[in-house]
Structure 1
Amino acid sequence: MSSPEDFQPSNAAYLYLELADFVAGQIQRGNLKPGARLPPEREFAEEYGVSIGTARRATRELRERGLVITLPIKGTFVVDQSGSVSGS
């Protein structure tokens, strides 16, 4: 299973896209299961060593790809194949 330490961004792309791609890979490999909650943005930023703005943009990118959903007050969760959240 990959961890935040495995995230090694290059200088060739936008950092938020690389972070979104990394997390998307975690979801596709099953390391993040449907219903899994992503850390709050500040913790997410700290875990991956990025700014809060980068974490926020990566989360937005994941939402736009349909991989996660953000529920007000509850958090951001990985969605299942049908687009619904399991376990919330």
Structure 2
Amino acid sequence: MSTVPAFDPPPEQLRYVALADHVAARIAAGELRPGARLPSERDLAAEYGVAYLTVRRAAEVLRERGLIVTVHGRGTFVATPPEQ
């Protein structure tokens, strides 16, 4: 069972930011582990009930935060945290 609440963003928050925050919470909770492959953007859009472009923008935010990496032709993966 997930420790992350269901995706239900407040109306005043941008949906792509709320989605990025939700995926980040899943990573922080250990539900998505480093190296794990994320579903395709279209599959995530269907899972979250949002537009494909919303997922694409959320992925940009997550890449900027260093939480995911995309390898062309292979997919998008949870980033390995840097050594401290």
- TM-score normalized by the length of structure 1: 0.86
User: Could you tell me how far apart the structure 1 residues matched to 2:39 and 2:3 are?
Assistant: 16
- Structure 2 unaligned spans of 5+: none
What is the CA distance between 1:12 and its match in structure 2?
Answer: 1.2
Aligned match of 2:38? 38
* AA of the residue aligned to 2:52: I
* AA of the residue aligned to 1:53: L
User: Could you tell me how far apart the structure 1 residues matched to 2:55 and 2:3 are?
Assistant: 18
Deviant stretches of 4+, over 6 Å = none
- TM-score normalized by the length of structure 2: 0.90
Identity of aligned pairs, percent?
A: 48
**What CA deviation, in whole Å up to 9, does each residue of 1:35-88 have, x standing for no partner?**
1111111111010000001000001110000000000011100011128xxxxx
- Structure 1 unaligned spans of 5+: 84-88
User: Could you tell me how far apart the structure 2 residues matched to 1:17 and 1:34 are?
Assistant: 21
Aligned match of 1:86? none
User: Could you tell me how far apart the structure 2 residues matched to 1:33 and 1:16 are?
Assistant: 21
Q: How does 1:7-86 map to 2 (within 5 A)?
A: 7-82=7-82
* AA of the residue aligned to 1:44: L
